[in-house]
Amino acid sequence: MTDAAPPLASSALDRETYRRLIRPRNGVALAHLALRAGFHLTLLSLAVHLASGGKIAAALAVLVPHWAAWSFLGWAGLGHELAHRNVLSWRRANLVLFRACSILTWSNYAVFELTHPIHHRHTLGPADIEANARARIAPSQVAWLLTLDLPGLVRRIRLLLRNASGDIPGDERLQALAPPGSLERKAVRDGARWVLGVQAALVALFLATGQPILVAGVTLAAFCLSGFNRALALLQHAGLEAGDPETLYEASTRTVRLGPVGAFFYANMNLHLAHHVWPAIPFYNLPEADRALSRLGAGRHETRGLPEGLRLLARLGRAQARDLRTSA
C-alpha cells in the first residue's frame, strides 16, 4: 500500500520516530492475533459444547460477543490493517491472513486490493471508490444490523456470484480498474470463487460433523450484530469532504475515541486520521502517532465514543432526509 506523506506527517513525527513506528513488532502482532483467535475459538468451543448438550439458547447467548466482534475481522478492522502488509515483518503472512479474514467475512479481497490504494491517495475525492461521505444507516436497516442482516447476506452472495462469473456490476470506476480480459478482472473473479468455495466447504463440513451451531457461529457471523462495525466504518468519513489537496486528511477523516476493548477489536482503526497520515504504521503503533497529532491540535474532526458517534450519524441522516425532501 502506498505510504502517503502529506505535510502534516513531517511536522508531527521526526524521521527517526517515524522509522521506528513503521517497523513491525512481530511479538506484539502475534500476541494480538493470539488473543483475538483465543477469544473467538473459546466462545465457539463453548457454544458447540452447549449445543451438543441440547442447550441451544445458551449456545446462541454465548455467541453474542463473538458475533459482535467477528465483523471487525474485515475491512473495517484487522483485515484492513493486514492489507497494508506491515502488521508482521513477513509480508506474505500479512497477505495470507488478509485474504483469510476477507473470506471469513464474505468479502472479495481482490476488490479491496484494487480500491484501497486509491482511497488513501484520493480520500473522498472523485476517484475514491471506497468511501462515501453521504452513506448513512437507514432506519429500515437498524433492526437487521442489530440481529441477523439477511438482506446484507443476500446482496453479498448475489454480488459474489456475479463476480465469480466475471461480471463487475455497479460503479464504472471499479469496472475501469478491472476491464474485461484483464488480469485484474480475473483476480476479482477468482477472489469471489475462493470466498464462495471456502464458505460452501465450511457449511458442508459443519453439517457433516453434526455441528450446525457452527453455521451460525462462522458462516453467518459476519452478518450477525454487524451494526457496531458498520457504524464505526461510516464514522471514518461520514459528513466530511475531500481536502485540498486530497492528502489534507484532517479535512476528510475522523478520529473516534474508544475504550481499550473497542480499540482492540477495531485494531485501532478508530485512530483513523493517524492511519491516513501514516498508513505504513502498524495498528499497534498508531496510539503513539495519534498522540503526536494531538500535540499539534490536528484532530479537526473527532468523536468521543460510539454513542456520540451514533448521535452524529443520526443527525447527519436527518439532515440528509431534510435535504432530499427540500429538493423533491
pLDDT at 6: 52
pLDDT at 12: 82
pLDDT at 328: 63
C-alpha to C-alpha distance for 111 and 191, rounded to whole angstroms: 8
Using N-to-C axis directions, what is the helix angle for 183-208 and 150-164, rounded to 10°? 130
Residue written as grid cell 486520521: 273
pLDDT at 3: 44
Positions in the chain short of pLDDT 70: 1-7, 328
pLDDT at 5: 45
Reported as a single tens digit per residue, the pLDDT across 220-260 is: 999 999 999 999 999 999 999 999 999 999 999 999 999 99
Q: What values do phi and psi take at 170, rounded to 5?
A: 90, -130
Domain residue extents for the chain: 23-323
Q: Report the percentage of the chain scoring pLDDT > 90.
A: 89
Cell numbers for 243, please give them.
481536502
pLDDT at 2: 42
- Beta strand 302-304 with 255-257 is parallel
C-alpha to C-alpha distance for 44 and 215, rounded to whole angstroms: 11
* Beta-carbon count within 10 A of 153 CB: 18
Reported as a single tens digit per residue, the pLDDT across 163-209 is: 999 999 988 899 899 999 999 999 999 999 999 999 999 999 999 99
